[in-house]
Structure 1
Amino acid sequence: MEVYIMKSNKSNVTFMLVVLGIIVAILASLAFLTKHEEKQVASKLPTTKEYENAYKGEVKDFDYENQPVIGEKDAPVKIVEFGDFKCPSCAMWEKTVFPQIYTDYVHTGKVQFYFINWQFLDVDSVLAGVAGEALYHQNPDAFWQFYSKIYENQGPESKKWATEKFLLGFVKDNITGIDYKQFEKDLKERKYMDLVRKDFLIGQKYGVGGTPAIYVNGKQVKDNSYEEIRNAIENAMGEKK
């Protein structure tokens, strides 16, 4: 009986060691796959150097004529949002404040609303900005679809979720009114990265330090609440009279 118990214990120990070895092997394989996937993702994202070298020209103003915009051309007030598509505060602002501004001022012909890239959180922010520019240059309405829906589907700020693969799939499933093949080509070639970089330099020129940053007729609104922006709009309209 004693011999049987000893053999049984040895068998259990051997079994546990085998199981432990299998678990270690699986974890090692998963770690390898994760690192491999991260390398693949990184290879399809802009590098910091590539982004910084994308535009070397001067910036003089908000470059209104080249920015995504909604609203009447003769609206007396121009609002600019500097935003980052990975920014949680931008997503919350788009959900809670922007609809009020649109209803009360854009829809009524009092405000033109512009979006300017200030993609600073990570290199996949830059790629999301490139995607937005590619859509805008095909169809301005497609950009505003993207503006709304990308925030609805925003991933964690700490993760590189706005990858080439994600953006291609996201646009294919969610954005209408475009030539998808052209968009795919433009994104993969990073055709509009120079404009994203130029936008960032505009933000630097005007003192942007984070997102969302809101400007009303060229003046920054320090508090991004609807009430403060409304006051800035009303003051700007009073100055126009």
Structure 2
Amino acid sequence: MTLGSEDAPVTVTEYASFTCPHCATFHATTFEKLKADYIDTGKVRFVYRDVYFDRPGLWAAMVARCDPDRFFGVSDMIFDQQRDWLSSGDPVGISEALRKIGRVAGLSNDQLDACLTDQAKAEALYDWFRSNAEADEIDSTPTVIVNGAKQGNLPYDDLKAIIEEELAK
């Protein structure tokens, strides 16, 4: 999933898992600043790539991707409410909490049922994750890649310095 201008001089790719607490922190802090300062101004094209450590992470991704036009809004809700929807630890409770997020985001029960039961899509997403993560040598989340150079998990000021260096080239 992408945000920002296709012609942006810098591409920032983030590998993240919806069940990763560090990823939720990245989205609450670093991503918001990145979006305001660079994505919304046309300087950065942002690419989001899922990492699946577990089934709940895949389920969350399927809910977020249920309507591609709502992906970033739904993913923000999933990250913001991560502790709540994961708290039951029970697959049924987690699924119901994710469905509730989807409904609040404007998805219908029928849409959510179709998304969460689409086995072919789940397999395709998992295969895509494995292929991309292997190609980019991803071993932790969040991992940020700036114009092809793997950076890991960075505080905003460090990420900003790297982006500014790339923009100056």
- Give your verdict on TM over 0.5: yes
Could you say which residue in structure 2 is the equivalent of 1:222? Answer: 152
Q: Which consecutive unaligned segments of at least 5 residues does structure 1 have?
A: 1-67
Greater RCO (Cα-Cα under 8 Å, separation 6 or more):
2
Is 1:123 aligned to residue 52 of structure 2? Answer: no
Q: Which runs of 4+ in 1 moved over 4 A?
A: none
Normalising by structure 1, we get a TM-score of 0.62
Could you say which residue in structure 1 is the equivalent of 2:161? Answer: 231
Distance 1:186 1:171 in 2: 11
Distance 1:160 1:97 in 2: 30
Deviations 1:189-217 (A, max 9, x none): 24421124312331122111111100011
Q: How many residues in Structure 1 have an aligned counterpart in Structure 2?
A: 165
Q: Which consecutive unaligned segments of at least 5 residues does structure 2 have?
A: none
Distance 1:218 1:160 in 2: 38
Task: Note the C-alpha offset of 1:115.
Answer: 0.7
Equivalent position SS for 1:192: helix
Is 1:102 aligned to residue 35 of structure 2? Answer: yes
Task: Note the C-alpha offset of 1:157.
Answer: 7.7
Identity of aligned residues (%): 24
Could you say which residue in structure 2 is the equivalent of 1:134? Answer: 66
Normalising by structure 2, we get a TM-score of 0.86
Could you say which residue in structure 2 is the equivalent of 1:184? Answer: 113
* Structure with the higher fraction of residues in strand conformation: 2
Is 1:87 aligned to residue 87 of structure 2? Answer: no
Deviations 1:157-205 (A, max 9, x none): 89356733222222012x13x5652342121224421124312331122
Aligned amino acid, residue 114 of structure 2: K
Residue 199 (structure 1) aligned to one of 108, 129, 137: 129
Deviations 1:141-162 (A, max 9, x none): x101111111111135893567
Change (3 A) 1:229 1:150: same
Matches within 5 A, 1:203-214: 203-214=133-144
Distance 1:84 1:72 in 2: 24
